[in-house]
Structure 1
Amino acid sequence: MTSTPDTSDDGAPREDAPWPPGTPGLLALPSGRLVRGRALGRPLPPGPPPTFAVHLLGAPPPDPGWEHRWVAWPDFRLPRDPAAFTEVLIEAWHRSATGRVEVACHGGHGRTGTALACLAVLDGVAPADAVRFVRERYARRAVETPGQRRFVARFRAPVR
């Protein structure tokens, strides 16, 4: 089999290949970094798997088969440890420069949208604009609760 810029000689997606155009749930951040939001309660979409994932769930998820971090975050609530969440999000932001990063919760809207909005803040979007940014570019129902909206509005990107 012949390789292309996004595949290895065996046809498998390269680790550093970006998400292909048209990938469901793809959010383009202002820097051009691409992050996929997804609902873990739905089947895995077609295409290459993530190279790194952030799972936002109340209990640890099963191993997805690729590198991932779990953030303890009950449905309709906020992360149990906001500092740990920020560390994981910074790691995801860095990895999104060269890999296929996915952010996912069970439904793909509340926790996922909140995390994507915080990623947008890390990427330079003002906290006051981040929810609108994600709703316009990812899902109109993203960031479901007033508490989640306040969390994004108060989220600050640490000094890099």
Structure 2
Amino acid sequence: MVEFPDGTRVEGRGLARPRPDGPAPDFGLYLGTSRLRRKHGGGISWPHEWVTWPDFLLPVRPAEARGQIIALHERAKTETVEVACYGGAGRTGTVMACLATLSGVPVGEAVAWVREHYHERAVETPWQRRWVSWFARQSG
């Protein structure tokens, strides 16, 4: 579980690994293609949404994904939420960096902050790093 500077908390994980012990989240945002949904989405029994987001790339519908990330941040203020992709590092880390910018981390520090507080390999590609900057510019 990551606690952001504004006090919101979000669980990040990889769907390739078993879900951690404990209660299910109130809501989940999952990042992947229809193949990942078919393979790993069947065990998700709580309210959730999917962002079509191929591995190592960017969301297929960026503006829609941006809205879903902002909504996840809002939910995190009052609910237990999680975000996950297959491995839990690149796409999930990118969303975590976007959430960091929403919680007050300067965009230039967001990737480093998430690597320190969530996963050392978060935000795996240069275009994912640029997408975090795009996301922050759209938000503010």
Q: Do Structure 1 and Structure 2 share a fold, with TM-score over 0.5?
A: yes
Bigger relative contact order, structure 1 or 2, given CA contacts below 8 A and separation 6+? 2
Correspondence for 2:71: 91
In structure 1, distance between residues paired with 2:102 and 2:58: 18
Larger Rg over CA atoms: 1
How many residue pairs end up in the alignment? 134
1:107 correspondence with 2:82: no
Question: Do the aligned residues in 2 keep the contact of 1:127 with 1:154 (CA within 8 Å)?
Answer: no
Correspondence for 1:158: 139
1:93 alignment partner, SS class: helix
1:117 correspondence with 2:97: yes
- How far is the alpha carbon of 1:104 from its aligned partner? 0.2
1:32 correspondence with 2:12: no
Question: Do the aligned residues in 2 keep the contact of 1:127 with 1:155 (CA within 8 Å)?
Answer: no
Cα deviations by residue, 1:65-98 (Å, 9 ceiling, x for unpaired) = 0010100000000001110011111110011011
Structure 1 unaligned blocks of 5 or more: 1-25
In structure 2, distance between residues paired with 1:151 and 1:129: 14
In structure 2, distance between residues paired with 1:127 and 1:141: 17
TM-score (norm 1): 0.80
TM-score (norm 2): 0.91
In structure 1, distance between residues paired with 2:108 and 2:31: 23
- How far is the alpha carbon of 1:154 from its aligned partner? 2.5
Say what the alpha-carbon RMSD is for the aligned residues: 1.2
Structure 2 unaligned blocks of 5 or more: none
Correspondence for 1:17: none
1:71 correspondence with 2:31: no
Question: Do the aligned residues in 2 keep the contact of 1:55 with 1:104 (CA within 8 Å)?
Answer: yes
- How far is the alpha carbon of 1:158 from its aligned partner? 2.6
In structure 1, distance between residues paired with 2:59 and 2:104: 22
Identity %: 49
Cα deviations by residue, 1:98-152 (Å, 9 ceiling, x for unpaired) = 1111010000000000000001111111111110010000010111111111111
2:77 alignment partner, SS class: coil
